[in-house]
Chain A
């Protein structure tokens, strides 16, 4: 039962009480223990490995050398600098776009707001690696389709170039990719604040003779600053963790960020160096934990502003006049850049036997042969199976675990529940590549090596649970709080056990939120890249990794074919999630 003894004295009767509680909540105790093991053991193992020489499974003694070596390495500082610059600049770009879009959607009379919502949401369906590959085809300095078009255009003005003018294989290219990709999430984070803001604040500015732009910059933005700051911190942390674009277009240009540096150190360089990789991982983690701490402070600070809470009113709508359609046009441009252009070029590539830029001449060799080819490969079907199994198990396990643990955190008075809550938020700041590295260390060595799940889909599932549990518990926490406590108590009084109550009352009541979370995790599991790349054996390969394998093998055609198939699967799923989001937040659009 959700009550707990509160005494320091350890009398026999208290022990009895504790035991009876453990017994009656056996299921919840097991769930909590499982999650703690899942998260803590690998992290501890990673830290241990950073003090070991040699391969983690065959250590050659304890040492500080790894740290000395890592911090003496210029590459490390370069990677760190690049990571910070990349994250900072791309966060600014993302924020600017997201704020503009949120304002347009919520506060103006822009037409087709529903369409705009959809256009913003769909990019979530595009895996980062696919997005990067699409743009690599569009913006390669010489053969990139967009560059060819640009060069032809420049030639009209008498400017002749043999390559460029743009190059995706550069820091600028990385910033472009990262900046565009974050918009959807940040938009979703701040759009609520724009909707809830008390319109009288803006009206007061307007009657004080401020122009619409002046009102926006002097009143709207400052009032919303906490929400924007919070979203900005979040995006900065996400950018710090980005791996796919830096791998696909950064590494070929010799541009390292921390995540690719780790991958390079433990996988690509010869010989690989786990000790050094662990040090990078630990450093990376500590850095992000610090950011997480700052983020949580920012959030706490943000909650003190009361102007944006409350609900019910539809804010005053600002008339855009002749700018109504150009405003909508910006959403279309965004959609073209994030979805349509990469999709189109990948679709084009999937129709060719080997890649060449679009041209009339190339039209002659267009065929659907690659699609037949791919479906005829036995490995492909296995990969599809793996991916679907992974998606279903990861989504279900993450959301169920999150549900149970959130319930403990929100509903019970068990000691240490606040700590448990913080602990579950922790993995949010641990990059996928570090989670994967830590899991490798943990499951290669006793005691977890006895589980014999290294390389299997199970370990990948666990990695994904660790990565997504923070999201799951946030969602479940807020949903459970909204469910009146008496609804559960009524079930206890009616004779139901706590487990039965959870399953028969609480879970059905928060089904919309649960379903939205499930789909969110499923979409992310479908496109998951760094964790399966590091953890799954060849036979347990998943879709996005296979795609990357084809690409790095030079088989652009097959990689593109896979990409097109993946996007076709993910887009409807994302739109389905939107329906549940609408249901959860009760928002109109």
Chain B
């Protein structure tokens, strides 16, 4: 089922006047798509999700789920009448009920109410989806974090909603469990073919799970794209910084060549970089390079590559990579290098990176 959000705004009354939580959000989620709202806390991603759930009433704008307008200037469908399932950040498992009763709750709200054996069948089915059927009779307070997460998911899915809303469902789990459940969750919603809206501040989660990602800041969507495109072609410094790590420095656009590459003048010398269209020569720009795109050498002779000279300040061994800090002039650079690299702190060294891994962004 399709979810379409257009012109969504939301204003709260705060202590010191009005707070504009959403300032015109537009996007459309295709049926069966896994769509993620990514952004730092306070960017409005949760508010957007809560508007779609019906937990907040938008100040203006329209929300359509399927073919039904659920929120507009003249309509407001309360959450209990929307075809949605939702998992909360805290899971919100009701502590005064057993696992079974928690999961059965949505079914009992349906009119006409299903028969008892039908409820039992469907609850068992939903618990089976998340491999929790053996704990059906356990009181909710006796569940671990991961188990609560699964129960919350079963509860969100039991009434076979058209749209699944997930509000940072993994953020309260420890790292290892989070990785496991990430895959499991993605696999499950793909199998069910359910339209999924996912809210997170964790870029790795977003990249790993989503079909498409919208990066939000200050109540607006900055960029919306597939994970790969977003990572490789960020359109703003914020997106580049937020999705993965990035080195960036100032420069001036010198001239544009035919192949989409351009020459950029920086204080460390001339560079050849990919450029977004629409920039005029002479414009001030940000040049960005991902740490993993940087290679080091002692000789500095590399064809078709950009080369800087620098000094290794620090090299930290992290197991899978070496996280290296290099000083180029006054500018610090970070590079992620294979653990087999042979480096010493304080060593003079050359940095290389491919022009295609170097993205030029408009200066703000």
Interface residues of A (CB under 8 A from B): 1-6, 13, 16-17, 20, 24, 413, 484, 486-487, 489-497, 500, 504-505, 508-509, 511
Taking a contact as CB atoms under 8 Å apart, the answer to whether A493 and B105 are in contact is no
- Which of B79, B96, B159 touches A1 (beta carbons < 8 Å)? B79
Does B88 lie within 8 Å of A3, measured CB to CB? no
Which of A20, A24, A490, A508 is within 8 Å of B155, CB to CB? A490
Q: Are B74 and A494 in contact (CB under 8 A)?
A: no
* Chain A binder among B32-40, B51-59, B205-213: B51-59
Chain B interface residues (CB < 8 Å from chain A): 11, 13, 50, 53-57, 59, 73-74, 76, 78-82, 84-86, 88-90, 92, 94-96, 105-106, 109-110, 152, 155-156, 159, 165
Q: Which residues of B contact A490 (CB under 8 A)?
A: 86, 88, 92, 94, 152, 155
Nearest CB in chain A to that of B87: its residue: A490
> What are the residues of chain B within 8 A of A495 when measuring CB–CB?
80-81, 106, 109-110, 159
Chain B residues with Cβ below 8 Å from A497 are: 78, 80
With A16-B74, A490-B92 given, can you name 15 additional A-B contacts, CB distance below 8 Å? Answer: A1-B55, A4-B57, A6-B11, A486-B92, A487-B94, A490-B152, A491-B94, A492-B54, A492-B78, A492-B80, A493-B55, A493-B80, A493-B165, A494-B159, A495-B106
Do residues B13 and A6 form an inter-chain contact, with CB atoms below 8 A? yes
Q: Which residues of A contact B86 (CB under 8 A)?
A: 489-490, 493
Please state if B74 and A491 are interface contacts (CB–CB under 8 Å).
no
**A493–B53 contact, CB under 8 A?**
yes
Which of B11, B78, B95 has the largest number of chain A CB atoms within 10 A? Answer: B78
Question: 9 A-B residue contacts at CB 8 Å?
Answer: A3-B56, A13-B73, A24-B78, A489-B86, A492-B55, A494-B106, A495-B159, A505-B94, A511-B96
- Contact A489-B88, Cβ < 8 Å, known A13-B73, A509-B94: yes
Q: Nearest Cβ distance between residue B82 and chain A, in whole angstroms? A: 8
Q: How far is the CA of A13 from the CA of B74 in the complex (A)?
A: 5
* A3 touching B57 in the complex, CB below 8 Å, given contacts A490-B86, A490-B155, A495-B109: yes
The answer to whether B85 touches A493, judged by C-beta atoms less than 8 angstroms apart, is: yes
A23 CB → nearest B CB, Å: 11
For residue B232, give the distance in angstroms from its CB to the closest CB of chain A: 36
Instruction: Give the shortest distance, in Å, between B52 (CB) and chain A (any CB).
Output: 11
A347 CA / B361 CA spacing, docked (Å) = 92
State in angstroms the CA–CA spacing of A2 and B84 once bound together. Answer: 18
Assess whether B105 is in contact with A491, with CB atoms less than 8 Å apart.
yes
B59 contact set on A, CB distance < 8 A: 6
Chain A CB within 10 A, most for which of B79, B85, B152, B165: B79
Distance (whole angstroms) from the CB of A517 to the closest CB of chain B: 18
Which of the residues A13, A487, A494 comes within 8 Å of B109, measured between beta carbons? A494
Across the interface, do A5 and B92 meet the contact criterion of CB distance under 8 Å?
no
A8 to chain B, nearest CB (A): 13
Nearest CB in chain A: distance from B23 CB, A: 16
Q: Which residues of A contact B94 (CB under 8 A)?
A: 487, 490-491, 505, 509
- Top 5 A-B pairs, shortest CB-CB distance: A495-B109, A3-B57, A494-B106, A490-B92, A486-B92
Determine the residue in chain B with the shortest Cβ distance to A489: B55
CA–CA, A362 to B80, complex, Å? 73
Nearest opposing residue in chain B for A494, CB measure: B106
- Is B79 within 8 A of A492, CB to CB? yes
Question: For the complex, what is the distance from the CA of A493 to the CA of B65, rounded to whole Å?
Answer: 14
A484 to B92, Cβ gap below 8 A? yes
A487 to B110 Cα, complex, angstroms: 19
For the complex, give the distance between the alpha carbons of A217 and B346 in Å: 62
Residues of the B chain whose Cβ atoms lie less than 8 Å from the Cβ of A24: 78
Q: How near does chain A come to B189, taking the closest CB pair, in angstroms?
A: 17
Chain B proximity of A9: nearest CB distance (Å): 11
Q: In the bound complex, how far is the Cα of B88 from the Cα of A484, in angstroms?
A: 11
In contact, A17 and B105 (Cβ under 8 angstroms): no
